[in-house]
Amino acid sequence: MIGGHVGGHLAATMGDDALENMKHFQVDKAFIGVHSINFDVGITSIATPQMQVKRVILNMSHKVYVLADSSKFGGGYLSVIYPMKDIYKIITDDSISTENIKKAQKENISLVIAR
């Protein structure tokens, strides 16, 4: 566990100390849960301290795997934390729409559809 402030019910490390400590890590693969996937702007999130930690992890990673059920596609939040063009794979459920499958293909993003 990295240093920093541990946030209440989430038990997530965040804050300036966490962000600074993470800059010293080498990340080959990041598996990240997200609030929203918007093919027009990227991965979006609620502006929270956890969002800052996710952004640092994503920017340090060689391959980014996004974990998102089909309800996370579309919509979006104010904070864009990562561009679509840099996502390696999206892992989602089999309720993903044909439209979103086509959008992922257009962006050359591989989908793993769990059944």
pTM: 0.81
pLDDT of residue 78: 79
Q: What is the pLDDT of residue 27?
A: 85
Residues in the chain: 115
The DSSP code for 23 is T
Q: Would you list the domain boundaries of the chain?
A: 27-114
Tens-digit pLDDT string for the chain (115 aa): 555 556 565 556 666 666 777 777 788 999 988 889 999 999 988 766 677 777 878 888 899 999 999 999 998 887 888 899 999 999 999 999 999 999 999 999 999 999 8
Residue of 34, 35, 38 lying closest to 75 (CA atoms): 38
What digits encode the pLDDT tens for the residues 61-79? Answer: 899 999 999 999 998 887 8
Q: Is the C-alpha dihedral spanning 13, 44, 63, 93 positive or negative?
A: positive
